[in-house]
Structure 1
Amino acid sequence: MALTVGILSQLSTTTTPAFANSNETSEAPPTPPKTDPAVLSLRRLFKTSDFRSKSRTLTWDNNEDILWERKSGKEGPALNQLSVPDLQSTTIVPRETFLLPATEAEVDGDAESADSESEEPSPKPIEISQWTISADGRYLLVYNNTRRVWRQHTRGDYWLRDLSDDSPEATWRKIGGEDAPDAKTMFATFAPDGQSIAFVRDNDLYLEDCETGDLQMVAGSDDPKLISGTFDWVYEEELGLRNGLRFSPNSQKLAFWQLDSNGVPIQTMIDNTSERYAKTIEFAYPKVGQTNSAAKVGVWDRTSKKTVWLDLPGDPRENYIAAVDWLPSDFAHANERLLIQQLNRKQNQNHVFLCDVETGHCVNIHTEVSDAWVRHLRELHWLPGSVFGSDASDNSSPRLLWLSERSGWQHIEAIEIPGPDSLEEESNLPSRITPVTGGSWDVISIAAVAKDGSHIDFIASPEQPSQRALYRVSLEQGLSGQLATTPERISPDEGGTFSYSVSPTADYALESWSDFNSAPQQRLVQLDPYKRLKTFDDNEKLHENLEKLAPVHTEFVRLPIGEFTDDPASKDMELDVWIMMPVGEDNSIESLPPKSVPLLVHVYGEPAGQTVLDQYGGTTYLWHRLLTQHGIAVASVDNRGANAPRGKAFRQSIYKQIGRISISDQAHATQAMLKHFAALDPEHVGLWGWSGGGSSTLNGLFQFPELYSMGIAVAPVPDQLDYDTIYQERYMGLVTENRVAFVQGSPITHASGLSDPLLLIHGTADDNVHYASSARLINRLIAENKQFQMMAYPGRTHSVSEGEGTRYHLRTMMTNFILQHLK
């Protein structure tokens, strides 16, 4: 009755036609209050488009300085080319090409619901997730009906269309055959000559003729644990490998990885929600110290229909094949030799092999070594043959641009690939190495090599580790033995973060820019000399909405931590920090009362990433800014070991010390912030993080309870022995050599130290960081009688994003917990 009275009392204040007396004039309902544009709310972040970022999907042609764009519309998609630099648009594949004829069932169904004078239903366009055009421009390949495999949607259906056939009978052909099972095809890839397509289905590798549709099995097995042309979980996650096939430049050979996951321990997850009865999900997952898949590389010949297996040294379960690349097409032996990068299990050695694909014989030509770990190159850049003043087709010694940390900083080197006519008599062919750049700064990545070989463009940040920009060095200077120690900056001197997608000639680029508080912008630029030609997306609406928000103080600062620790190695250490703070009445932090502002530290702490970045952070940035509107400061620290451009010693100082040096640096940097910013309240300091950041949060609360007063750990790794081989052993060594380091760095070891509010969050379908590890931590906390809050998201993965309302619910819960325990 009370509920009914309450509802009626509300209704009486606003008369509606349903309740109004016919003799009275009804009143219009009051206008809902307008959202204050200065105020952030969770609803604005997750239920409106106020802060949605836009970007045009533009792709460079493989050979010419032409941009491709897929245009969408009610009548279907079309593929356009944009000329550069004038950006004239030409439709190459019109909308009509994408139309599918209506099926008989559709026609019948429409006819039943329409009158006799209605026209027959119009054809519908084919759905498109991705598209590719063959190099000769004859065939169009479309990917749709996709399914997620671990992180990405890499399984689905592929459809082929002959663009040279404009007859009414021309139609789409399903790759793998019309009777191929739905959503089972992976990585359909054109051969360079455009005449065939290789693809993976059910872990087997196939080749299909584009013209005839004839199908050839390249590698297959009845054993489901034998994987050809793609990878197991750990290779995909930690080496970034998904598509495991590589055509030779002349299309006559197909190199591919094959993994044997027999003997790899099985991880089991329970799915309680998809069906009425629970079911299990099982997959091979090698945890620290466990058995890896055995990997090898085969080369299949289209003429002989035979496969040659490369004779790489070492136990295939104790080494990783991290990269497979053919020599570039404009050099001798291009279709005869492969370049292989092989990491040993500890990943402190990267052996580069040159392999003869006719015999399988492999020769070591270069080895990168480190006392901690080495990196492999995921993308190779080669110097053009014209650099050496000779006919490229006769040049048997191509130069590979390599990134090495041997000097203590990551720099570019040119490695001359030996080119003897035969490799059979060789077991080791040391290559000649020419350093190109040098100095106390890091090359982050190579962006492009000028087509005429005059210069190399690369991403670096010599002055500010939080920023990124494009730099250039002259090849003439670099190859002459004069180290390029002062590179030329190409990006405008605006701060923030620049990234580039460079055209085939390296004359133009798609440039993206943002800074910490500014919306992303996408532009077309000329690189030599630098000139902005066109702004594609400036996110004007997002920019306007950001400008209307209540002011916030943002600062990047480097703080010394030596006074807060007795560690001699930390005496002169300074760490980079960003901080967002609410402001006083004069819009500054100087007017804030001392020790009045709680502090929440966003932590990662692992060597795989960097959080102190001068770039727009999207929803996470906006959520942090929302917290400042509640009077809470938010900050982040790059501890030693962060993947920041501060030199090899800084990055690799975390080796065998994850969970120890990382969290002590975080704690001491937090103490330095409390001293540096007088308004911060040392009695109200919180910590939150995701994945490795969740682990750091747990370690912070457990090991430094006197400093932190609350924490939120999302999808953490409570026990390092529960995580995968490639990642954890890369940064911690082998468990057989140093088990104590794994144990001491694991939060579960220090669980008895919990004395502050903890919110633990984990998705039960997390294939990356398993829910089972958090379950073991829960048992430890129960045994220690430690009270905490826990939220398990059923069926959610590592991103905790699947399902209706999940992201909104997650951030609401996190926000409430922070406001309850930190204010």
Structure 2
Amino acid sequence: MKLIKLMVMSCFLVTSFISAQNKDITLEDIWSKGTFRTERLDALHSMNNGKQYSVLNFDRASGSTTVDVYDYSTLKKTKTLVNSTDLTDVKYFTDYSFSKDESKILLATEQESIFRRSTLGIYFVYDIASKTLTKVSEDKIQEPTFSPDGSKIAFGLNNNLFIKDLNSGATSQFTSDGVKNKIINGITDWVYEEEFGFVRAFDWNANGTKIAFIRFDETNVPEFSMDVYGNKLYQTQTVFKYPKAGEANSEVSLHVFDLASKSLTEVKVDKEYKDFYIPRIKWTNNANVLSAQFANRHQNELDLWMINTTKNLTKLVVAENDKAYVDVTDNLTFLEDDSFIWTSEKDGYNHIYHYDKNGKLINQITKGNWEVTSYYGYDAKTDRIFYQSVENGSINRDVYAIKLDGRKKQRLSENTGTNNADFSADFSYFINTYSSVNTPPLYTLNDAKKGDVIKVIKDNSDVRTVVAGFNMPKKEFSTINVNGNNLNMWLIKPTNFDATKQYPLFMYQYSGPGSQQVANQWNSANDYWYYMLAEQGYIVACVDGRGTGFKGAEFKKVTQNELGKYEVEDQIEAAKLLGARDYINPDKIGIWGWSYGGFMSSNALFKGNDTFSMAIAVAPVTSWRFYDSIYTERYMTTPQENASGYDENSPINHVDKLKGDFLLIHGTGDDNVHVQNTMRMVEALIQANKQFEWMIYPDKNHGIYGGNTRLHLYTKMTNFINRTLGQ
């Protein structure tokens, strides 16, 4: 008995000693040293055989890149398909893609960003068998894409579309009216790229005989300009078309180019649309039939059309409508008989549906008061659909399989937390990425039949060891009843928390429609900042209020036409409820956020001036009149129709209510939320004779990063928090 007690005491002393030696997190650990960086699994391409995958590898020593092939079953490299050291014209490449038959590889070099998703680059085609290299164009081009047989490449250049024949080497141009800031063929304009999330607006048909594309006429779209200060004597200027809410959008039209006849035809559907969007196009398995999604400007109607491009016949096969808005789906999948998979939240939750090729509903595949969050695909051999959902709680994600007829649902992931799957081409394997608040990213190879783990690929055990060496408080998940709703919340207390003391409260949120910040997953960089603040004597909390996602359409869409009303009410009420707890000082409550979260934190400080004593707003929207048409009008309609919704909930109109401390931060190169938002807010605060602090980051975009920028930004915010909320 004495021996056991002695052992227990020894363990306690060792634990106490280790704990005493633990280090405090610093901003340099988070933003400079990469102390908590996790190992990631490089993006992989599943090979056609379903038994192997390829990965882009970079050798730091030689500065070379390779495309290497690995076996799923052994995870060992079997061969190298291409090595840049063997290529005379390519020192290294930064991305790659295969032709459909995997006989050729498209290599990207000299890539440069345009906006968030768009890039320009010099591209080469590598023929694996002959080991020959072909340059696609002497110019930097956009979105080069193989034809189905791999004999041609279509690409965008200077707002026009081209085809390079890889056999003859000839390049032909099949649109000629492209002009910067006027006409764009086959590449999306700024607002489509940002809000509909795609850049390549052209698509090859099944046999490579036709190319469909969207044409953007942005002639009447107002221009926005940004000064670029750089390091030269005179600044330059970036000018681009940006439709703000209520302003003119690009006029879009749908066209098909026939390679054989070299004819260009505009395609029109059998419905009169005024001021509409074409957010997706996709060919069916039938080389003559194109699908296109059309949405009205309010985005509360979404139509799926099937277009016979030979017979000029169009058929409306799915027509979705909603009192608020209908989300565009990326999950449209055509089965062998051209029946198709479609996802929709028409029953109140996002679920998977199966339609025949004429649009007749065959069945609803998934059902329940929970959301499908990712659709992975359909395996014809086993007749199974694979997907991810929040069936195991809205803060968790699991991987499932289900029969096409909706029977025999099977959970394939085991651990509670966030699971995501990357399936092999034949759906025999998947690589599962799992993490939770207590578990760093764990990558495993799994059998798709039952979900059994075959091998551990990466477990990030080194990160676990590193984290154990720091004073690391716990993130506690719970719910809080706010304004009649049970809202998801996490809370972080100092490791030496004393319930008899009172602590300042610092709240974080984003709050945008369909978003989520309270999720059971491993730490982001910001989480370590919150842990650092907690160790410095703060309670840090995050509450996902009404309007956030994964709890059904009704919960998400309650904010329609009044962005910033219910979300702000929930943050203010949550702060009051937390402030009533014995261990929180109700006189020292702060809030912060970025982008939509900056819009929210500004509003919370102004409208909740008896609750919040400070706020930080980074890159905030200060009036929805300044933001883009597609995003804003999806939730607010136009300012001409809903002036009160815009103005009553925009913080720029409530600056007179400011009582507490306010820090406003923005980058001047923000093409998304323009620095105009902050400049107009600053002027309003000045005219209201309100004191505040602000920080401008020259030429930095919406992410405000590069060099020491993030370290400087978070040092600025930390100092402000300590000065305004500190004990």
1:68 corresponds in structure 2 to 54
> Contact (CA 8 Å) 1:575, 1:669: kept in 2 or not?
no
Shift of 1:453: 4.6
Report Cα offsets for 1:31-72 as digits up to 9, x if no partner.
Answer: xxxx96531001122221321122131423352212102333
Give the structure 1 partner of residue 371 of structure 2.
442
**Offset of 1:444 from its aligned partner?**
1.9
User: 2:490: which partner in 1?
Assistant: 578
Does structure 1 residue 288 correspond to structure 2 residue 245? yes
Decide whether aligned partners of structure 1 residues 559 and 713 sit closer, same or farther in structure 2, where only a CA change above 3 A counts: same
Q: How does 1:97-112 map to 2 (within 5 A)?
A: 98-100=86-88
Kindly indicate whether the alpha-carbon contact (under 8 Å) linking 1:583 and 1:592 is maintained by their aligned counterparts in 2: no
**1:468: how far off?**
0.7
Q: 2:449 aligns with which of 500, 503, 528?
A: 528
Q: Deviations over 1:711-754 (max 9, x none)?
A: 11000010110000100100112323221111111111111111
C-alpha distance after superposition, 1:451-472 (max 9, x if no partner)? 3252222111124211111123
Which of 330, 336, 340 is the matching residue for 1:400? 340
1:731 alignment partner in structure 2: 635
Superimposed CA distance per residue, residues 734-778 of structure 1 (whole angstroms, 9 cap, x where no aligned partner): 323221111111111111111111110000110000001211111
Look up the SS of the partner of 1:64 in the other structure. coil
Pairing partner for 2:459 from 500, 518, 538: 538
Distance 2:118 2:319 in 1: 35
Partner of 1:691: 595
State the secondary structure of the residue aligned to 2:487: strand
Q: Does 1:815 align with 2:699?
A: no
**SS of residue in 2 equivalent to 1:708:** coil
Residue 547 of structure 2: SS of its match in structure 1? coil
- The answer to whether 1:344 aligns with 2:296 is yes
Conserved? CA contact 1:208–1:214, under 8 Å:
yes
Once the two structures are superposed, the pairs formed by residues 298-317 of structure 1 within 5 Å of their partners are 298-312=255-269
Match of 1:331 in 2: none
Counterpart residue number, 2:519:
613
SS in 2 for 1:623: helix
Secondary structure of 2:640's counterpart equals: helix
CA contact (8 A) 1:71 1:78 kept: yes
Letter in 1 for 2:202: L
Structure 1 residues 222 and 300, CA, compared in 2 at 3 Å: closer, same or farther?
Answer: closer
Which position in structure 2 is the counterpart of 1:151? Answer: 116
Match of 1:490 among 389, 412, 419: 412
The alpha carbon displacement at 1:701 in A equals 0.5
Q: Is 1:474–2:403 an aligned residue pair?
A: yes
The residue aligned with 1:354 is 306
What do the CA deviations read for 1:224-273 (whole angstroms, capped 9, x no partner)? Answer: 22111211110000000111121111111111111111000001111223
User: Higher strand proportion, which one?
Assistant: 2
Aligned length: 703
Segments of 5+ residues of structure 2 without an aligned counterpart are: 1-19
User: For 1:688 and 1:142, how far apart are their aligned partners in 2?
Assistant: 42
Whole-angstrom distance in 2 between the partners of 1:222 and 1:628: 55
What amino acid sits opposite 2:492 in the alignment? M
Call closer, same or farther: CA 1:820–1:314 in 2, change over 3 Å. Answer: farther
The 1:603/1:71 distance shift into structure 2, 3 A limit, reads closer
Question: What fraction of aligned residue pairs are identical, expressed as a percent?
Answer: 28
Alpha-carbon distance in 1 for matches of 2:382, 2:175: 39
Distance in 2 between residues matched to 1:191 and 1:366, nearest whole Å: 29
Q: Is the 8 A contact 1:641 1:662 kept in 2?
A: yes
Equivalent of residue 230 in structure 1, options 187, 194, 201: 187
- Sort the Cα spacing of 1:138 and 1:410 in 2 relative to 1 into closer, same or farther, 3 A: closer
Distance 2:387 2:687 in 1: 53
Report SS of the residue matched to 1:77.
strand
Query: What's the CA shift for 1:149?
Result: 1.1
Q: Identify the match of residue 603 of structure 1 among 503, 506, 509.
A: 509
TM-score in terms of structure 1 length: 0.83
Contact 1:77 1:98 in 2 (8 A): no
Deviation of 1:671 after TM superposition, in Å, equals: 2.1
Q: Tell me how far apart the structure 2 counterparts of residues 435 and 756 of structure 1 sit (CA, whole Å).
A: 52
CA apart distance, 1:433: 4.6
- Change in 2 beyond 3 A, CA 1:616/1:553: closer
Partner of 2:16: none
Q: Residues 466 and 300 of structure 1: is their aligned pair in 2 closer, same or farther, counting only changes over 3 Å? A: same
User: Quick one: distance in 2 between partners of 1:302 and 1:519?
Assistant: 51
Q: CA deviation at 1:551?
A: 3.9
Deviation at 1:533, TM superposition (A): 1.9
Q: How does 1:688-767 map to 2 (within 5 A)?
A: 688-767=592-671
* Aligned residue among 661, 667, 675 for 2:566: 661
CA distance in structure 2 between the aligned counterparts of 1:734 and 1:743, rounded to whole angstroms: 12
Cα distance, 1:654–1:821 mapped onto 2, change above 3 Å: same
Q: 1:640 touches 1:651 (CA, 8 Å); kept in 2? A: yes
- The structural deviation recorded for 1:310 is 1.2
Shift of 1:360: 4.1
1:160 paired residue number? 125
Match of 2:134 in 1: 173
The answer (yes or no) to whether the contact 2:504–2:584 under 8 Å persists in 1 is yes
Higher Rg: 1
What secondary structure does 2:102 align onto? coil
Contiguous gaps of at least 5 residues in structure 1 = 1-34, 102-124, 329-333, 386-394, 419-429, 479-483, 562-569
Distance 1:532-1:213 versus aligned 2 partners, 3 A rule: same
Q: What is the rounded CA distance, in whole Å, between the counterparts of 2:123 and 2:241 in structure 1? A: 27
Alignment partner, residue 478 of structure 2: 557
Give the SS at the match of 1:520. strand
| Aligned match of 1:194 | 150
Cα shift at 1:94: 4.6
Name the amino acid aligned to 1:715. Answer: A
What one-letter code is carried by the residue in structure 1 that aligns with 2:394?
A: P
Question: Are residue 134 (structure 1) and residue 99 (structure 2) matched?
Answer: yes
Q: How far off is 1:380 after superposition? A: 2.1
- Equivalent AA in structure 2 for residue 82 of structure 1: Y
Asked if 1:624 is matched to 2:530, the reply is: yes
Give the partner amino acid of 1:620.
N
Instruction: Give the counterpart letter for 1:592 in structure 2.
Output: A
Equivalent pair of 2:332/2:343 in contact (CA under 8 Å): no
Contact preservation (8 Å) 2:47, 2:54: no
CA positional deviation for 1:312: 3.1
Letter in 2 for 1:48: K
The answer on whether the counterparts of 1:71 and 1:79 sit within 8 Å (CA) in structure 2 is yes
What is the distance in 2 between the residues matched to 1:608 and 1:438? 20
The one-letter amino acid of 2:499's match is L
Question: Partners in 2 of 1:374 and 1:148 — Cα distance?
Answer: 30
Equivalent residues of 2:158, 2:178 under 8 A apart? no
2:29 to 44, 60, 67: 44
Residue matched to 1:85: 73
Shift of 1:78: 2.7
Q: Aligned partners of 1:611, 1:517: CA distance in 2, in Å? A: 16
The CA distance in 2 between the partners of 1:49 and 1:560, in whole Å, is 38
1:674 and 2:541 matched = no
- 1:456 aligns with one of 360, 363, 385: 385
Moved more, 271-280 or 634-643: 271-280
Letter in 1 for 2:321: V
Identify if the C-alpha distance between structure 1 residues 409 and 211 changes in structure 2 by more than 3 Å, giving closer, same or farther. same
**C-alpha displacement of 1:411:** 1.7
What residue in structure 2 maps to residue 374 of structure 1?
326
Q: Is the 8 A contact 1:308 1:358 kept in 2?
A: no
1:597 & 1:313 partners in 2: Cα distance? 64
Alignment correspondent of 1:249 = 206
The 1-side partners of 2:494 and 2:298 are apart by 46
Alpha-carbon distance between aligned partners in 2 of 1:315 and 1:63, rounded to the nearest angstrom: 42
Q: Distance in 2 between matches of 1:235 and 1:447?
A: 24
Q: Aligned residue for 1:219?
A: 175
> Partners of 1:789 and 1:412 in 2: how far apart?
49
State the one-letter code of the partner of 2:114: V
